[in-house]
Structure 1
Amino acid sequence: MTQTPPRSHGRKSIAATLQPRELITPTPDLVAAWKAQAITLFPEAFPGPLGLSLTGKALQDGLWQMDAVFLREFGEGRHRNVDDTPAGGGAGMVLRADVMGRALDHARRTMPAAAPILYLSPRGRRINQSLARDLAAGPGVTLICGRFEGLDQRVIDHYGITEVSLGDFVLTGGEIAAHALLDATVRLLPGVLGNAASIEEESFATGLLEHPQYTKPAEWNGHAIPPVLLSGNHGEIDRWRRAQSEALTRDRRPDLWAAHTEATKG
């Protein structure tokens, strides 16, 4: 008989203590928290890096919570099999529809109906800032971390699952992509970042890449901070930063530049 790994949840608050605490402890669902679920064969991968820095503090503070659902617990037979050979033949193995269906039915009982189900897949829509903003504006998300040759298509069709991809490359599983998507989303939740204005100025916020940044010392290894940034003329600084953003986007991301110029025509 296998045992279900501990579910991962955020804390409502942090209190001073002389005793060390674990970052994640089993707690009831937090009513007001943004909720993330990851259906995975490796629940120990969560929260992983999401338990560090600002996302980790927000997890402790109960601004969001993480629930890792162990797919193996819903497997078939004595060995809890979760996959089988592809119908029609071919290499590799495919995650079974009945197994994933049971895992999803279990997971979704505690999720708001409005929270989407996303499957991390190389053939999915590219993850971008717009997707992160949309997720942050909702109640949460259920993520399916793919493995092997993929997931039985009937599950995707039956549950209306959206496939999303980290980029044009293949990973051994969806856990790393899930970390990236959740990090991009959680940092946009109210109260996570100390300076909310930084979100408005960073790359992709306006459809452009962010301008170069500088700080002390004023000169380093013969390289000086551009004089305009030390001028105190905020109008000139804004114009310089805008020009730099446009130049960088035009040079490095012609796809973004084309979309930006099309959007500004009207």
Structure 2
Amino acid sequence: MRLTVVGCSGSMSGPASAASCYLVQADGADDSGRPRTWSVLMDLGSGAMGALLNHVDPAEVDLLVLSHLHADHMVDMIGMQVYRRWHPVGGLSPLPVLAPAGALERVRGVGGDDESETYAGEFTFAEHRPGEPVQLGPLTIESFPVNHPVPAYGIRVTGPSSRPGGPERVTLAYTGDTDLCEQLVPLAADVDLLLSEAAFQEGRDTVRGVHLTGRRAGQLAASASVRRLVLTHLQPWTDPEVVRGEAHESYRGPVDVAAPGARWVL
């Protein structure tokens, strides 16, 4: 299983990165037993559609998972819709989308369309159902409700190891946007990689119930016994080394800061 950062800028696209978008891929077999690569996108924020073209043909994405419906995590759904409807080879098959309730209406509003636009030719929407894993080829996707001002979900993905001699199955977790809450520990428990937002900075951002700080992300990583912490969703005005230092205050494992194009092989 492989994780590639498509975009990681927090709350908006930045001078060096699109907003939130992460590509998870694993090799497996199709229904006929033929080998293929399975691809899952987690979020598709502002600027992400263009950046995605550097990593995978969007026609080959098997599932799009939206952690929540804030614009910096889903606004480029319209770019994906255009790509699928007007592709030169003809319209592409609908892309399955796992999202919070109301995703169709949210996408319709971003696109500026009336209720006659169902996007049925481009997307099929399903709602997050905690406790009901979704199976996609060799990947298992689980949803966990988290603590944000709108309905939001963390995402846990389990798949085959890409490293010879390693464990057969590996796991990553993505917090989406959240502050600390009880569901984060089962989301992140014993994962090989925790992709954690850290949009707030200790001493600067005091409002609660919105985002993690580096320190709180580190506390989560330590309490959940994760093997590697990757900090993401930092706004353009934040010094990443300050947030990384906060995480190291409570977590002794490796801490990386997400960057466009960064890739981890699990």
TM interval, shorter chain, is: under 0.3
Length-normalised TM-score, structure 2? 0.26
- If you compute each CA radius of gyration, which structure gives the higher value, 1 or 2? 1
TM-score, L = length of structure 1: 0.26
More helix by share: 1
